[in-house]
Amino acid sequence: MTEQQEDPSRIRIEDTKSLIPPIRNVRIGSAVVWLGRGVQDMQACPAASLFYGFCFAGMGLAITMVFEHAYQFTSALTSGFLLLGPFLAMGLYELSRRRERGEGCQFAASLTVWRRNIANIAIFALVLAVIFLVWARASLIIFALFYTSELPNLSGFLNEVLRLDNLEFLSVYTIVGAVFAALVFALSVVSIPMMLDRGQDAITAMLTSFAALTRNPAPMLLWAFLIAFLTILGFLTLHIGLIFFMPMIGHGTWHAYRALVGQETAPS
């Protein structure tokens, strides 16, 4: 799709001068459009896209193995999966960018795209790593508070979850986890595509990502739901679904960035 073609997911641009690029207002159903375009990118670059899909599936398999032997650490590993996802998806962003520019699928270039803005990507990685470490510690503390004697075995823990025997634990764990997930989503929804596409600094990219979320809360909530739903579905299908769903999300994230972020403006 060229810049001249009208994007049905875009409504208008707020052309106010700011330290960040203008944010477009998008329709609530735009998330479905982005996912559909992600499917089109997968069909155009099947081998390269599936390579990254298999990488995601391998990460999911590692999380499952940890869950079977030490489920109290699963939340930390799952957080790592969600935090590492945007970085592993950089190759998918590059494939979508090149396809948009008519350059075709260049798998080798997608493997080294991180070199384009390595300093700011490293800063962004550091921010997410700090959030990950805090969440991992918070997760262990919650387990320690609600299981003061000893942790039940895996089957006993799953039975408690399914029977809702420990509602206090489930409520606290869900709320705290949702806060961390929302923070990561707010900072990363368009950050890495923007850093790769425009050579943007990490702080501006994160502020732009947060602005995109606050400007379009309903579409972004639907986008977050689709990401979570497809990720969970991927795990429930013995990780096979991750091979296909994760590239769809990665390619779709590029189109979300292109729909949400307008051309750069001069600082006020």
Domain ranges, ordered by start, for the chain: 28-259
pTM: 0.81
Q: pLDDT tens-digit profile of 64-79?
A: 776 666 655 665 566 6
Say which residue the tokens 């009208």 belong to. Answer: 6
Query: What pLDDT, on the 0 to 100 scale, is given for residue 2?
Result: 47
For residue 154, the surrounding DSSP H or E stretch is: helix 154-163
DSSP category for residue 107: H
Query: What pLDDT, on the 0 to 100 scale, is given for residue 17?
Result: 45
Q: Token pair of 172, please?
A: 């606290």
Q: pLDDT tens-digit profile of 101-148?
A: 888 888 888 888 888 899 999 999 899 888 888 887 887 788 778 776
Q: Token pair of 12, please?
A: 């208008």
Contacts 24+ apart (CB under 8 A), 3-7: 7/258, 7/259
**Residue 51 contacts residue 106 (beta carbons within 8 Å):** no
Q: Cβ-count burial of 102 within 10 angstroms (0-12 exposed, 13-18 middle, 19+ buried)?
A: exposed
* pLDDT tier for residue 15 given thresholds of 50, 70 and 90: very low
Q: What is the mean pLDDT of residues 44-53?
A: 93
Instruction: Please tell me the distance from the alpha carbon of residue 33 to that of residue 11, in angstroms, as a whole number.
Output: 14
3-class secondary-structure state, position 264: coil
Number of H helices, E strands in the chain: 12, 2
Instruction: Please tell me the distance from the alpha carbon of residue 160 to that of residue 171, in angstroms, as a whole number.
Output: 13
